[in-house]
Amino acid sequence: MTSTIRTVGIVGAGQMGSGIAHVTAVAGYQVKLYDISRERIEAGIATVSGNMARQIASGKLDEKTRREALARITPADTLEDLADSDLVIEAATEDEAIKRKIFAKLCPVLNPEALIATNTSSISITRLAAQTDRPERFIGIHFMNPVPVMKLVEIIRGIATEDATFEAARAFVESLDKTITVAEDFPAFIVNRILMPMINEAIYTLYEGVGSVEAIDTAMKLGANHPMGPLQLADFIGLDTCLSIMQVLYEGLADSKYRPCPLLVKYVEAGWLGRKTGRGFYDYREDPPVPTR
């Protein structure tokens, strides 16, 4: 544990927020988990508990550590409940307007010394920081999904981020037994700047009829040694998230190579967002999942 950070507030109890709560509690921090309803917070804590049970089964965690870590996670019913946090990590939907609203409500209740981090996967850290009362104490800490499994965390400074904030963030992430990569504040940073256009290109390959869902995923798994195909990966990430990152790249870099594939737009408009909605490039209502085109 880092000496300056003891209590960590997390805004958002979804896939990313619950994963961040999991690794932070295991590392010995007190965690306060906030979402817009008690049901969502409880669902997030249940996810943490289930994922820890899986870690016990695979020998990565013991029962005592699991019990102690779960005891460190407290539900926060209001943002005011995060008032005594030393660090608050925002892990809400990848939507700039939602994030801005959260920071507007969060800043007035926090200790002036508290650090604020965002887990955004694509949005400008400088622009988000400017919405707060402490841009110098604001930083991007971008965890990879699924958080308990993935070793990498991107740290991104905004133009105003102070050295002390960066060092505190680095020490915090290292205490979680993660590996850090430092990215500059450009749209989508490093991982998604490279990964999302690849996924978008895979969707164009499907859209143009070059190959079927199965052919594209098999080609990349066996031809490029990827652990999962790009369309399967898109379904895992969420097609709405893939689309919003491509839009950030397209608008932020003004280059036509980042134009989201019309087929990706169509799937999102249909509500076929991937695994979380039961349908995306695969239909998860079948076992095993079957391609949808």
Known binding-site positions for NAD(+): 12-17, 35, 94, 99, 121, 145, 276
Query: What's the burial of 20, exposed, middle or buried (CB within 10 Å: 0-12/13-18/19+)?
Result: buried
Catalytic positions: 121, 142, 154, 192
Phi, psi for residue 46 in degrees, rounded to 5? -65, -40
User: Three-state DSSP class for 72?
Assistant: coil
In angstroms, how far is CA 279 from the centroid of its own chain? Answer: 21
C-beta pairs of 133-136 under 8 Å, 24+ apart in sequence: 133/107, 133/108, 134/107, 135/160, 135/161, 136/160, 136/161, 136/162, 136/165
Residue 3 token pair: 């000496």
Q: CA 81 to CA 260: how far, in whole Å?
A: 39
What type of residue is 216?
Answer: I
